[in-house]
Structure 1
Amino acid sequence: MRLLVAICVGLLIFSACSPRNWHSNSHKDVYTYAKKVSRKPSNIKFSERLQQAYREQKDKILLEIESLQASDQPFRWEKIQDKYKILNEMAYRLNDCVACSGKITPVFYETEQSLAVRYATDERIETGLGLLAYETKPEAQRAYHNFMQAKKLSPSQAGIDTLINEALEQGTIRIVIEGNYKREKDYVKDIERDLFRRLPKYTETKPFYLFYNPKEAVEARLQPDYVITFGYDYLSTGMLQSDYSDESFSVDIKVGEKKVDSVKVVPVYEKVSAKVTRCKKSLKAEGRLWFEIRDFQRDEVSIKDSFYDDDLWVNEWASVSGDSRALPTGVISSGSELIPPSYWTQFNSITNDLSNALSWRIRQFLRQKNALAFR
């Protein structure tokens, strides 16, 4: 009985491993076996696998194309042209395989692929034009991406660049950044420069956001979409705080011996003392930055918020005076007195942190606007 079971298991394994039961899982099997046939043209197994892989993958992809053509999926022609592209890539790979000649006949679908590309391009353009007709910025932005996809499908087709520029112009959001110079003008200007340098580089702002300062907006007679205003509520530094504490130590130290009554020897002690002075200096600067984003067209505030930041400088050291023998183990002088930072050093640190916070908050606002446009 065991022998019979072993024979059955062996037959099942042999059957599963038999070339007759092999099936292709991917069009890449065609490339794999074309390469193997090129290396060993006389290998019958490689030739059979190549023929089977090409036949199965070609039939599978043609069925997928037929299914897509019968569906009403949006932009299905892009998927169809991708399918035809694979069919033609397989055909070219086999055509370039000298050892494969006579073993397999590749079939090209270049006309079908070109037709699918044309239909896909036309669908993208038609969709984009429909979105542009709404004359709103979110729809214009979506139209832009449709025209860009059309350009990717048909790079040389005339007229697409004009549509891209039209959608970009209609979909661009123009923002004026205006610092309030009532307090800390120089540091507000630093934040302005930082925002104009950084914001255009972020992915959230490409390609639909342009930033202007007030002078540029006036010269261009601009009607912006949003105005970002910010300034300091305060930026100040406190008084230098100094704390000192002393700790004294004293101990009797054996310094020798002496005889008493010329017979008894007794130790001789000397009292020694030392002092440890611990010092701490601190200087704190702090600031609060307010900002608001106003929808210029609706004349309403979209966001209003503020950020706080501080810079705390601390210097600690300890000094020892007196006889070190009186000190507990491990107590030594440490650190040294340093010169406190200037107020502008601390203000620069605070301004940099607050600029980062404001930049992040603006980016968050732009991400929300982008999400609304493409939801």
Structure 2
Amino acid sequence: MAELNSLGFAKAPADTRVVVAMSGGVDSSVVAAQLASEGYDVVGVTLQLYDHGAALAKKGACCAGRDIHDARRVAETMAFPHYVLDYENKFRESVIDEFADAYLAGATPIPCIRCNERVKFRDLLETAKDLDADCMATGHYIQRKAGPQKAELHRAADPERDQSYFLFSTTQEQLDYLRFPLGHLKSKAETRTLAAQYGLSVADKPDSQDICFVPNGSYAAVIEKLRPGAAEPGEIVHLDGRVLGAHRGVIHYTIGQRRGLGIGGGEPLYVVKLDADARRVIVGPKEALATRTVPIHQINWIGDREWDALPDDGAEVLVKVRSTRPPREAVLRRGADGTAEVELALAEEGIAPGQACVFYAPEGSRVLGGGWIRAAA
């Protein structure tokens, strides 16, 4: 039997076509350059996700005009073909519109996950197959490992760079086709060293910050542009029912927010709930933010055991309810119609509808899937 190459195929790198999703940043550039240097048949693809001249775009953002230029320069340096695909309509329909609607409904969406799920790992992945590629590679910091039963998704070796929270919705079919060559690196410094070794112009390029289509992190400004007049004023109400003041639109608030409430002194108060239908921002003391019960839906499961075969009394897992927090002990219980409930061993603060809850194996680094946090009944 032929020896497997570094991407897991029993043939020479020159006979293995790989489409590399290139954002123009250092991570995906290094992936493309490394695979090209190893002799793979590399095809670089960059997605144009929004109008570069529109107010939504910001200088230096992911997939903006400068990034397309940088990706093209990397392809020229390493001598592989590079294409730019216009995915503006797909991105708006699959990501931006839902982002705006979710905020107006009082949720706290994470569009980067939807972009991976609906654009990069769905539409672009199908394009890669149309190009007769054996696989598609990205610059995400996450690991794909060959398990005893099937390909497995694992956290990155560098916990500071791990992107598993943003990739929980990767399906098994997608995982079989995807490759993540940077997941084993111990630090971002290693990536930049490789970029310098390959002579890439992006070796010192800063990382992109915030959501790519949100200028200066101002979510409310983007939503007001996308949905003019949709942000209506309402009341700021204490948990005990007292009306404490007025607000200029639910979209200006997030669960856990303390500053900028404009309701004067007294006890420190935090946003504990957003009632978009009643146009109310509900506030309370910090302890009101803590919860151990997390209702979730739209679950993606990639564990070895079938979802329906999980124990009726629940399965012990680790979960992340925020990208910046480490996995915590919990019990996962199946519900009806694709829902579930997570019971945290220790209460967490600031859990908000629209965020992700990601499941991990109780031991090791394996990602088992996850779901979207929904409002409690």
- Give the TM-score normalised by the residue count of structure 2: 0.21
Larger Rg: 1
- Give the TM-score normalised by the residue count of structure 1: 0.22
